[in-house]
Structure 1
Amino acid sequence: MSKTTLAVIAAASAGAGAAITATMYSLRSQSERKIDSISTSNTTSNLPTAPTPIPIPAKQIFTPNQEAIQTGYSTSAPPVLGPVDPSGLFEYGFPGPIADVATRQALVSSYDRRLRNPHWVVEHITPASLALRDGDRKHSVFIEDEGVPDKFRAHLKDYFRSGYDRGHQVPAADAKWSQTAMNETFYLSNMCPQVGEGFNRDYWAHFEDFCRGLTRRYPSVRIVTGPLYLPKRDPADNKWYVRYEVIGNPPNVAVPTHFYKVIFAEDGRAGGNVAIGAFVLPNARIPNEKPLADFEVPIEAVERASGLEFAAKLPPQRRKRLCTDTTCALVIREYADRQKAFAKPEKR
């Protein structure tokens, strides 16, 4: 990751001030000029060759190479013969990493066992999905995800008196079309520790409202949300360090330094245009008057910071910049008012 990318993302915090705002606007100007020339080169996984098949479950392989999916390793090159056989270890088990992928009614998620947070969570909202109100969050409870092995799972007790909210990555309000769908957003595999007052219950919630509001202009909106752990320069030695809190007993759930959302607002036509917006927000108190546009970054910056790819198959000619195509601004509503809006309307 370039120093420019690190500096811009790491500095995009609530108290960054006018200097960082200027940097962000400068970066967005560069992004506008280059939006039509975004690279869409596909990067395929280079799985190691081995004399014997590596026993990786098919669901843990993310590659277009179907042979690798079926056999667990690539046979594009002949096995390397020599005096050692490293793959012999796999007779006892494959060390990983393993991504626990869950497909639920309103979301698909990939879970990071090491940090006890999701890598990413994907959702899809439409005017029709938001119009239905069959779900009521007062009937939902936070629950541990038993699809993740216990020793790698985030537990309810990990958040107890931690000082952090159990922050939804896909918000419950986006799944109110079904009680089951809403209940499934309360799995801890859809949560990260988030600062409560000033962020999860305020600015982040306003940001979620902004995403829902996009369905007034776009018939289909797809969103990827997840945590980031970004470096910060230490003034003592002028070096960059990644530093984050860990909560739980024993400490095992990482507290992200930042969160990202990558938004794909579709025009509804087959092969039509997609307005893309990428945002990185610090896990900290943010004043409500802070412009949302200050947190906009190029999608490539989120990819470099997260190690993920979001739009490799979307041609440049179909891409538009979200904050050029529509207004990227928050409508501030009090938290209590939002909670009332989530409630199921009374039957008359």
Structure 2
Amino acid sequence: MAPQQPLTLEEEQLLLGNPSEATTSESNYNNFLMLKPQYTLSYSRDRGTPNWVSWHVSREWMGNAARQDNFRSDPKLPEGWYRVTASSYSGSGFDRGHNTPSADRTSSEEDNSATFLMTNMIPQAPKNNQEAWANLEDYTRDLVQDGMEVYVVMGSYGEGGTGSNGSARTIDQGRVTVPSRIWKVLVVLQQGDDDLQRITFDTRVIAVDVPNTNTVRSDWGSYRTTVDAIESATGYDLLSALPAQLQQVLEGRTDTGPVK
């Protein structure tokens, strides 16, 4: 058997599949595919946020680069589209919540900087972002430090969340939608090669779905659910790159593993 060709960085970020069949056609303005070396996303022009973002967390992506904090508009959005800016969330009571976390991309300043594009942000309730979500992000990196690698897909849906200033359906004069729910799916593997082929019926899959409010518990484990439930809520086909029977088993289970 011929050796598997190395994946491009863009293929690496989308290994589990394209959940919404997003395309790079500008006419597909609410399901617009953006391929980046650091992560891949489906963007909604009308919501002003990503629908979902997909990325790979491994030791190769982690280094000593400092947090760049250079929030900015994404120049890769099609000409004529409104571009959310670094100040679009100012005074809203919501954090500029990363999808792909800054700390997942510290191998270079360029990689870290890519996580501060506003196409990687959602309006996130501060307690959600800084506690429950931060704890799950830390746990993901702890897994990598313990010899694992993790494929992650994250997204949000619905309209209306509660931040530090109370409830809101939109911010930035209606140009950015505040999601009501934020979800994430993690596929956890031992470090190795041919990752897609190594996903089995025994692979750990963690799925969470958390309300976008300032009253969420810091314990992300209490929000665990099934991939099937997230698919029902969003209409997406997650883990679509896997064989159908394997998908069915993995997507129907609720994780009961450790949370720290």
Name the counterpart of 1:129: 61
Name the counterpart of 2:101: 171
Residue 44 to residue 205, structure 1, CA distance change in 2 (3 Å): closer
The secondary structure found in structure 1 opposite 2:87 is helix
The yes-or-no answer on 1:295 pairing with 2:227 is: no
Indicate if the aligned counterparts of 1:265 and 1:322 stay in contact, CA closer than 8 A.
no
Name the counterpart of 2:9: none
Residue 231 to residue 214, structure 1, CA distance change in 2 (3 Å): same
Residue 96 to residue 102, structure 1, CA distance change in 2 (3 Å): closer
1:120 aligned to which of 24, 35, 52: 52
The secondary structure found in structure 2 opposite 1:314 is coil
- Unaligned 5+ segments in structure 2 are 1-18, 162-166
Q: After TM superposition, give the deviation of residue 283 of structure 1 in Å.
A: 1.0
Name the counterpart of 2:86: 156
Indicate if the aligned counterparts of 2:160 and 2:168 stay in contact, CA closer than 8 A.
no
The yes-or-no answer on 1:102 pairing with 2:102 is: no
Indicate if the aligned counterparts of 2:106 and 2:112 stay in contact, CA closer than 8 A.
yes
Name the counterpart of 2:16: none
- C-alpha RMSD over aligned residues: 2.9
The secondary structure found in structure 1 opposite 2:232 is helix
The yes-or-no answer on 1:284 pairing with 2:213 is: yes
Higher helix proportion:
1
TM-score normalized with structure 1 length: 0.58
Indicate if the aligned counterparts of 2:20 and 2:31 stay in contact, CA closer than 8 A.
no
Indicate if the aligned counterparts of 1:123 and 1:222 stay in contact, CA closer than 8 A.
yes
Name the counterpart of 1:252: 175
The secondary structure found in structure 2 opposite 1:301 is helix
Residue 298 to residue 44, structure 1, CA distance change in 2 (3 Å): closer
**Identity across the alignment (%):** 25
Q: After TM superposition, give the deviation of residue 231 of structure 1 in Å.
A: 9.3
Q: After TM superposition, give the deviation of residue 116 of structure 1 in Å.
A: 0.5
The secondary structure found in structure 1 opposite 2:70 is coil
Q: After TM superposition, give the deviation of residue 98 of structure 1 in Å.
A: 5.0
Residue 200 to residue 44, structure 1, CA distance change in 2 (3 Å): closer
Indicate if the aligned counterparts of 1:222 and 1:263 stay in contact, CA closer than 8 A.
yes
1:213 aligned to which of 114, 123, 142: 142
Name the counterpart of 1:261: 184
Q: After TM superposition, give the deviation of residue 317 of structure 1 in Å.
A: 4.5
Indicate if the aligned counterparts of 1:225 and 1:262 stay in contact, CA closer than 8 A.
yes
Name the counterpart of 1:193: 123
One-letter code of the match for 1:298? Answer: T
**In structure 2, what is the Cα distance between the partners aligned to 1:126 and 1:95?**
34
Indicate if the aligned counterparts of 2:225 and 2:254 stay in contact, CA closer than 8 A.
no
The within-5 A match list for 1:1-348 is 59-60=24-25, 96-97=28-29, 99-130=31-62, 132-133=63-64, 135-137=65-67, 139-148=68-77, 149-196=79-126, 198-217=127-146, 219-229=148-158, 245-248=169-172, 250-267=173-190, 268=192, 270=194, 271-272=197-198, 273=200, 274-285=203-214, 286-288=216-218, 290=219, 292-315=220-243, 316-317=245-246, 323-324=255-256, 326-327=257-258, 329-330=259-260
1:233-253 deviation per Cα after TM superposition (whole angstroms, max 9, x unaligned): xxxxxxxxxx961101x3210
1:159-190 deviation per Cα after TM superposition (whole angstroms, max 9, x unaligned): 12111111100110000111101001000000
**In structure 2, what is the Cα distance between the partners aligned to 1:157 and 1:128?**
32
Aligned length: 224
- Unaligned 5+ segments in structure 1 are 1-42, 46-57, 61-93, 233-242, 331-348
The secondary structure found in structure 2 opposite 1:300 is helix
The secondary structure found in structure 2 opposite 1:294 is helix
TM-score normalized with structure 2 length: 0.75
Indicate if the aligned counterparts of 1:118 and 1:191 stay in contact, CA closer than 8 A.
yes
Residue 281 to residue 297, structure 1, CA distance change in 2 (3 Å): same
